[in-house]
C-alpha cells in the first residue's frame, strides 16, 4: 500500500493545480497574449512575420533542393511549409520556455498565480503564433487539395497533441534551466542537429534504409510527418502513427510535470 502513496500524492497535487489553473485561466490567457504582442511590438509587419519567416525559409530550401539537387517532389515549397510551420512552433516555444523563469524572475517572486503559468504561457503564445500562420496559409493548402477540409478535425487533434508534447518538454527545460544556466545555449546546438534529422524538407522514404532508424527514433518525425500527410498529401496519418504521437505527448507531459514538481520548491532560491 505504501508503494502507491507517492503516486496518489502526485495525482492529488496535479488535480489541485489543474483546478487552480482552471480558476485563473483568464490570467494565463492574458499572459500568453501579452507575450505574443511583445514579440511583434514595434514591428512594421506585426503578426505577418508568423508567415513571412517560414515562407522565406521554405522558398530558400526549395531553391537549393529543386534547382541544385533536383529533388522530384511536386509543389515542394508547400511540402516544406507543411513541416516547417510546426517545427518553428516547437523550436521557438521550447527555446523561450527554457529561460522563462529566469527572464520573469520578478513576476515569479510575487507568487500571485501558479508558477507553471510562466513556461506554459510561453508555449501558448507560440501556439497562438503558429495557429495564426497556419490559418493564413491553410487556404493555399486547401486550394491544392480540397480534401483537406475533411481532415480538419484530425488536424485539430494533432495540434493539441503537439502542444501537449511541447508543453511537457517546456516544463522540463524551464525547470532545469534555473539550475543549469547554459541549458538554452546547449539547446540551440541540439536544435541544429535535431532539425536535420527531422524530415522537414525531405521525406522519410528518401533516407537510406540503413539510416532511417535515426529519424524513426526522433519523436518529432511522427508529428512532422502527420502534418505533411494532412496538409500536403490530404491523407490521414495511420493509426499506429497517431498512437505513437499520443504516447509521446503523454510521456512528455508526465515527465515535464514530474520534474517541475520536484524542482519547484527550489526555484526562488536559485534565481
Evaluate whether residue 261 is within a structural domain: yes
Evaluate whether residue 6 is within a structural domain: no
Evaluate whether residue 5 is within a structural domain: no
Evaluate whether residue 17 is within a structural domain: no
Evaluate whether residue 238 is within a structural domain: yes
Evaluate whether residue 139 is within a structural domain: yes
159/167 Cα distance (integer angstroms): 12
Of the candidates 175, 163, 126, the one whose C-alpha atom is nearest the C-alpha of residue 250 is 163
Evaluate whether residue 27 is within a structural domain: no
Evaluate whether residue 9 is within a structural domain: no
114-119 own/partner pairs: CB under 8 Å, 24+ apart: 114/17, 114/20, 114/21, 114/24, 115/264, 115/267, 116/17, 116/21, 116/171, 116/260, 117/21, 117/24, 117/27, 117/28, 117/31, 118/31, 118/174, 119/170, 119/171, 119/174
117/171 Cα distance (integer angstroms): 10
pLDDT tens for the 271 residues of the chain, in order = 444 444 555 567 677 777 777 787 788 888 888 888 887 777 777 777 777 888 887 788 777 776 666 676 788 888 989 999 999 999 999 999 998 888 877 777 766 777 888 899 999 999 999 999 899 889 989 988 899 999 999 999 999 999 999 999 999 999 998 888 888 888 989 999 999 999 998 888 888 888 889 999 999 999 999 999 999 999 999 999 999 999 999 999 999 988 998 888 877 777 6
DSSP 114: -
Total domain count for the chain? Answer: 1
Residue the block writes with cell 522565406: 56
Q: Which domain holds residue 132?
A: 32-270
Residue the block writes with cell 518553428: 88
Amino acid at each position: 500500500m505504501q508503494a502507491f502513496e507517492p503516486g496518489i500524492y502526485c495525482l492529488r497535487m496535479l488535480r489541485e493545480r489543474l483546478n487552480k489553473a482552471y480558476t485563473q485561466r483568464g490570467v494565463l490567457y492574458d499572459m500568453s497574449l501579452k507575450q505574443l504582442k511583445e514579440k511583434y511590438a514595434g514591428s512594421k509587419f506585426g503578426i505577418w512575420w508568423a508567415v513571412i519567416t517560414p515562407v522565406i525559409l521554405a522558398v530558400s530550401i526549395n531553391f537549393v533542393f529543386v534547382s541544385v539537387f533536383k529533388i522530384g517532389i511536386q509543389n515542394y515549397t508547400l511540402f516544406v511549409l507543411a513541416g516547417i510551420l510546426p517545427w518553428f512552433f516547437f523550436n521557438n516555444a521550447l527555446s523561450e520556455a527554457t529561460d522563462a523563469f529566469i527572464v520573469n524572475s520578478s513576476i515569479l517572486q510575487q507568487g500571485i498565480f501558479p508558477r507553471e503559468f510562466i513556461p506554459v504561457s510561453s508555449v501558448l503564445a507560440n501556439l497562438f503564433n503558429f495557429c495564426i500562420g497556419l490559418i493564413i496559409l491553410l487556404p493555399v493548402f486547401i486550394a491544392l487539395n480540397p480534401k483537406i477540409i475533411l481532415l480538419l478535425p484530425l488536424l485539430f487533434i494533432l495540434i493539441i497533441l503537439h502542444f501537449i508534447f511541447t508543453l511537457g518538454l517546456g516544463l522540463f527545460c524551464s525547470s532545469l534551466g534555473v539550475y543549469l544556466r547554459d541549458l538554452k545555449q546547449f539547446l540551440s546546438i541540439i536544435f541544429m542537429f535535431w532539425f536535420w534529422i527531422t524530415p522537414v524538407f525531405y521525406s522519410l522514404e528518401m533516407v537510406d534504409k540503413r539510416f532511417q532508424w535515426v529519424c524513426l527514433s526522433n519523436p518529432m518525425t511522427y508529428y512532422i510527418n502527420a502534418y505533411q500527410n494532412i496538409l500536403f498529401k490530404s491523407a490521414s496519418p495511420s493509426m499506429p502513427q497517431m498512437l505513437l504521437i499520443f504516447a509521446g505527448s503523454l510521456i512528455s507531459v508526465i515527465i515535464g510535470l514530474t520534474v517541475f514538481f520536484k524542482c519547484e520548491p527550489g526555484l526562488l532560491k536559485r534565481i
